[in-house]
Amino acid sequence: MSLANVYSLYRTMEDENVILSFKGIVTAELLTSVLHIMEAKMDSMHETPRIRKKVFNVLVECLQNLYHHVENSSTPASREFLERKSALVLIVKENDNFIVKTGNYIDADKAQELKDRLEIINSMDKEGLKEYYQNSLNNSMVSDKGTAGLGMIDIARKSGNKLDFEFLKINNETSFFCLNVKID
């Protein structure tokens, strides 16, 4: 990357109101650090406890989704493999709204499954989501890491907005999943 490109990347982030960004592999340590930094930031921005908690909650779920996503894949370590494990996390503050944006690679077959689930979630209102969450909580089997597939429902409930998402086709096996969660 040329030095001019560093500035243009910086400008883009500044113009898009990005207050925190990360690109790389989401590890447990990274997750802890990002949460810590974001809490301190929201403290210094004098956000209301309500917003602080919502942003924190959504961020925890988004980051832990990315963390478990990396953990669940098992491909040999190569440069390409490391890139596939990387994710992008951006936190944007626009007017009074926070937006958590994430991007990560996903297998094409899992992409369809996730897309279907997100569409179901987006078709529901507040009460519908509540019922869906309670049913999933009570009936779902938990994987050995304790993820119960509740994350996206919880993110939708806490955000109070429709989930904005897109799957970009990279090739026949892989897509890139972009998620925008607006909190207001």
Partner 1 sequence: MEKLILEASAKTPEVVFDPAAGTLLLKGRSIPENSIEFYKPLNDWIDGYAASPGSQTVIEMKLEYFNTSSSKCILDLFKKLEKLNGTDVSVNWYFEEDDEDMEEAGEDYQAIIKLPFKMIEVEEI
Binding mask 20-39 for partner 1 (x = CB under 8 A): --------x--xx--xx---
Task: Write out the two tokens for 156.
Answer: 């939708």
Give the span between the Cα atoms of 178 and 168, in whole angstroms: 8
Q: Which of 72, 112, 123, 140 binds partner 1 (CB under 8 A)?
A: 140
Binding status of residue 45 toward partner 1 by CB under 8 A = no
Q: Which of 114, 150, 163, 178 binds partner 1 (CB under 8 A)?
A: 150
Integer Rg of the chain from CA: 17
Give the span between the Cα atoms of 63 and 43, in whole angstroms: 20
Q: Which of 23, 145, 166, 169 binds partner 1 (CB under 8 A)?
A: 145
Q: What is the residue type of 148?
A: A
Q: Which of 17, 20, 25, 56 binds partner 1 (CB under 8 A)?
A: 56
Give the span between the Cα atoms of 173 and 134, in whole angstroms: 34
Nearest to residue 155, comparing CAs of 96, 89, 101?
A: 101
Binding site for partner 1 (CB under 8 A): 28, 31-32, 35-36, 48-50, 53-54, 56-57, 60-61, 64, 67-68, 130, 133-134, 137-138, 140, 142, 144-148, 150-151, 153-154, 157-158
